Amino acid sequence: MKVEQQLRSLPKMRFLPRKVKDVLALSSRIFERQEVPEPSSSACYLLADVMGHKTVTTMNMQTIMTQKHLEQFWDFCRKRLKREPVQYIIGEWDFCDITLKMKPPVLIPRRETEELVNLVEEELNTRFPNGATVLDVGCGSGAISLALAKHRPNDRIMAVDMSLDACCLTRENAKMLNLADRVAIHHLEVEAGTIGIGGCDKFDMIISNPPYIRNDNMQQLAPEVAWYEDHHALCGGMSGMETIRKVLLFSCSALNINGSLWLEVALDQPHVLQRYVARFLPMLRFVGTYTDFSNRLRFCKLKKL
């Protein structure tokens, strides 16, 4: 019998385990047999959510689950076996020190991007302690702009995305976090010549985690990404640089003098980006590349001359 068929009948099985410890062990084994990535942590996140906890570490492993909780949990497991991301199943995810609503197909914020926020905050705190004008290009769920808004109350922050789904989710998250009056959200795609975003022509800082995966690499994505997340937020065209070039050209006119542009890019793109800027965009200076928590070159900083 296929695992999908087994799970469909699990809530009806007389000898289905009911103790938290046993349910967790069984679901982890099923995920592992079916080669679901991170089987143990997937089971832990799903079970904790069903039981009203952030993590299983705050739960009593001897607790006997109710029938309602069991049915909801195994329903979550069916979705995970179909490779639906945990973040979409439970409907939320922590980023920096905020909790964001998650809805498909809006891109799920990655842990690496938290490193970008830390780098950006460090510069803002040093150069603009009393506030800055900041633009988040490709805001997705609002992770970057809302994390900054919480930590930097004097900044004027704007967020844009070409996806209406993303803009709507950012608005939901802003309202949920009581930051709706702190971030102005606009549905648009920036490119050279885009002006007057939210009544602001120039910015002290622009931040973007743009689509940067090459067309020929899209087919190598894990099912969690390929089947559920917005391809427009992932694919950067033939070279992976199409959207990055648009952001660079836009930044040439949209940044204040000495303003900074921060980009999260693919591991093989920093040197390509540096050569492109040196050859075609004399009004920008490539400052440097910074590593993520795995010591991989991931973030690029540029400055407007």
> In the 3-class helix/strand/coil scheme, how is 34-88 assigned residue by residue?
CCCCCHHHHHHHHHHHHCCCCCHHHCCCCCECCHHHHHHHHHHHHHHHCCCCHHH
**pLDDT value, residue 2:** 57
**pLDDT value, residue 8:** 56
Q: What share of the chain is helix, strand, coil (3-state, %, to 5)?
A: 45, 20, 35
pTM greater than 0.85 (yes/no)? yes
Q: Which class is 95-304 in CATH?
A: alpha beta
As a whole number of Å, the CA-based R_g of the chain is 22
Q: How far apart are CA 184 and CA 135, in angstroms?
A: 10
CB 239 within 8 A of CB 216: no
Closest CA to 166 of 229, 255, 97, 78: 229
Closest CA to 78 of 46, 40, 45, 55: 46
**pLDDT value, residue 101:** 98
CB 80 within 8 A of CB 42: yes
**pLDDT value, residue 13:** 53
**pLDDT value, residue 7:** 59
**pLDDT value, residue 119:** 97
Helix (H) / strand (E) element for 145: namely helix 143-151
Q: How far apart are CA 98 and CA 88, in angstroms?
A: 17
Helix extents (H) in 177-241: 223-226
**pLDDT value, residue 9:** 47
Put the strands of the sheet holding 183-187 in their side by side order: 183-187, 156-161, 133-137, 203-208, 255-264, 297-304, 284-291
Task: Collect the ranges in the chain with pLDDT lower than 50.
Answer: 1, 9
Alpha carbon 46 to chain centroid, angstroms: 19
Closest CA to 234 of 250, 252, 221: 221
Cis status, amide bond into 17, omega within 30 of 0? no
| DSSP helix/strand/coil, 168 | helix
Where do the structural domains in the chain lie, given as residue ranges?
A: 3-82, 95-304
**pLDDT value, residue 94:** 96
**pLDDT value, residue 168:** 98
Q: Which residues contact 108 (CB under 8 A, 6 or more apart)?
A: 85, 87, 88, 93, 102, 141, 229
